[in-house]
């Protein structure tokens, strides 16, 4: 069971959106814990919190830094605390990990040794930092995109209120992983910030933080953070009530208040977005509806676009938006799977970093282990060329998003082969044509594509999405 399935099951079982921070902060320790052994006091308090709340919350969130600050006894306390959390309730380790150099080692530590279900990460080092965590398909990450600290506003709201940095973090991180593996951590006392993030990432689970300020209105918080289905939002238990003797009763009361507010909100919002093809032509391609949807959401555009090389093309393709639309993403995975089901391989490999979300989704869909070749090999740490577990001699099917020159996918395949793996098949969504498949075949790789760029253009023209001028401009540019 992956993290988000486990989370959803916990939400349903306990009928709760609440999560509890398990923070061994000596300054917050209730006064009645009087033993001279501070670690024993903290353990007893944390055990009390878990015992009192385990029937009323959906997740626990230990703050890694506080355990680290207590030294070796603190790390032992963390392991002992994790051991008493009921196994059906997911654990989100609040680490705010931000070091690219140690990301692979840290991911292995928290996911295989501590066996937590998710971890919070800092976004500043980008997708390179997140990728080693996404190799663990049943785990998840939460990307920090906003904090409530007043001193952070100068950074988070830069360069302007209209286009703040925190929203850019949300937009970029949506391209790093699927909704099943990547959520957002949002610390704010401002419901407008929460609403803007929800609007930008309607498909993501949001773990809210620092929402309890004087005069907080839970109904406004839920209205800002819930998705259209009335879920996708985790609410923190206020830290000050964790030291109260009647903790269970207070948690039940808070849960009831949240559930009633949620019911009121969901009951007043019963809309459902539905995409329809709005064409009546005979299907030109088995994936006609998918082509039209990719065009309608802006993944495929026709016009005049300057490329990185300086050349001007009459089209532009941006497939990063796919993973933010679950309906389309599901169809893309199905299209890939129809090809992969006819191939023989032991593992899947995604080419970093654009195709990693797709490769992850396919790994889950096909129940096949995932690996990926690093773009670069670090001069420190494990210096691993390939992330994930594998055995030399195995056959790997390579997944990429688009074939333009074939350079990046051949470089990735060569890295896999250098570690003793066999690469025979390469599967992509779009083939730019121009003889790329033939060049790959010359190097011993059989390339497969869901559709070609000319098939896309023909379909869009016949269905009325592009006009004759755009249609002819495409063929003039491709010779």
Annotated binding site: 374-375, 378, 380, 400-408
Decide: helix, strand or coil at residue 319: helix
Residue 42: partners with Cβ closer than 8 Å, 6 or more residues away: 24, 26, 29, 33, 70, 77
> Cα separation of 191 and 2, whole Å?
30
Q: What is the DSSP string of 185-245?
A: EEE-S-HHHHHHHHHH-TTS-EEEES---TT--HHHHHHHH--TTS--EEEEPPGGGGG-T
Say whether 61 is catalytic. no
**Which structure tokens are listed for 156?**
């988070």
Q: Out of 6, 96, 228, 262, which one is annotated catalytic?
A: 96
H or E element: which one contains 265? helix 247-267
Dihedral pair phi/psi, residue 255, rounded to 5°:
-60, -45
Geometric angle at alpha carbon 98, from 93 and 102, rounded to 5°: 90
* Alpha carbon distance 54, 40 (integer Å): 21
Q: Is-contact 18 237, C-beta < 8 A? A: yes
Phi then psi for 288, rounded to 5 degrees?
-55, -50
Query: What are the binding residues for 5-phospho-alpha-D-ribose 1-diphosphate?
Result: 374-375, 378, 380, 400-408
DSSP 400-448: -SEESSSHHHHHHHHHHHHTT-EEEEEEEEEE--TTHHHHHHHTT-EEE
Which sequence positions are flagged as catalytic? 96
């Amino acid at each position: 069971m992956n993290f988000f399935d486990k989370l959803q099951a916990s939400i349903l079982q306990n009928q709760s959106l609440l999560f509890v921070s398990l923070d061994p902060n000596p300054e917050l320790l209730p006064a009645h814990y009087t033993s001279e052994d501070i670690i024993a006091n903290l353990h007893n308090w944390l055990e009390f919190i878990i015992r009192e709340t385990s029937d009323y919350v959906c997740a626990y969130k230990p703050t890694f830094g506080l355990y680290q600050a207590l030294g070796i006894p603190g790390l032992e306390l963390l392991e002992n605390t994790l051991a008493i959390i009921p196994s059906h309730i997911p654990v989100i380790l609040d680490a705010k990990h931000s070091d690219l150099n140690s990301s692979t080692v840290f991911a292995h530590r928290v996911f295989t040794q501590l066996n937590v279900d998710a971890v919070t990460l800092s976004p500043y080092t980008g997708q390179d930092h997140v990728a080693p965590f996404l190799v663990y398909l049943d785990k998840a990450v939460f990307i920090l995109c906003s904090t409530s600290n007043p001193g952070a506003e100068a950074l988070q709201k830069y360069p302007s209120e209209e286009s703040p940095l925190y929203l850019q973090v949300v937009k970029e991180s949506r391209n790093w992983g699927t909704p099943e593996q990547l959520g957002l951590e949002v610390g704010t006392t401002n419901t407008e910030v929460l609403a803007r993030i929800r609007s930008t990432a309607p498909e993501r689970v949001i773990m809210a933080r620092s929402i309890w300020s004087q005069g907080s209105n839970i109904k406004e918080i839920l209205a800002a953070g819930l998705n259209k289905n009335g879920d996708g939002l985790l609410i923190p238990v206020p830290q000050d009530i964790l030291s109260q003797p009647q903790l269970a009763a207070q948690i039940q009361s808070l849960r009831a208040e949240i559930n009633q507010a949620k019911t009121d909100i969901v009951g007043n919002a019963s809309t459902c977005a539905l995409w329809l093809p709005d064409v009546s032509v005979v299907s030109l391609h088995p994936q006609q509806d998918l082509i039209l949807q990719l065009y309608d959401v802006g993944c495929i555009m026709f016009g005049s676009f300057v490329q990185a090389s300086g050349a001007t093309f009459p089209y532009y393709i941006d497939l990063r938006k796919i993973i933010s639309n679950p309906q389309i993403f599901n169809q893309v995975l199905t299209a890939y799977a129809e090809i992969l089901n006819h191939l023989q391989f032991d593992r899947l490999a995604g080419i970093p970093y654009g195709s990693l979300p797709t490769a992850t989704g396919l790994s889950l869909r096909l129940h096949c282990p995932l690996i990926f070749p690093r773009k670069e090999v670090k001069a420190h740490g494990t210096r691993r060329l390939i992330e994930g577990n594998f055995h030399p001699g195995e056959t790997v099917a390579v997944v990429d998003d688009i074939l333009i020159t074939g350079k990046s996918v051949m470089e990735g395949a060569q890295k896999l082969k250098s570690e003793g793996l066999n690469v025979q098949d390469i599967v992509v969504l779009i083939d730019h044509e121009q003889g790329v498949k033939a060049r790959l075949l010359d190097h011993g790789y059989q390339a497969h594509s869901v559709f070609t760029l000319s098939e896309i253009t023909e379909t869009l023209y016949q269905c009325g999405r592009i006009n004759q001028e755009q249609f002819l401009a495409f063929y003039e540019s491709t010779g």
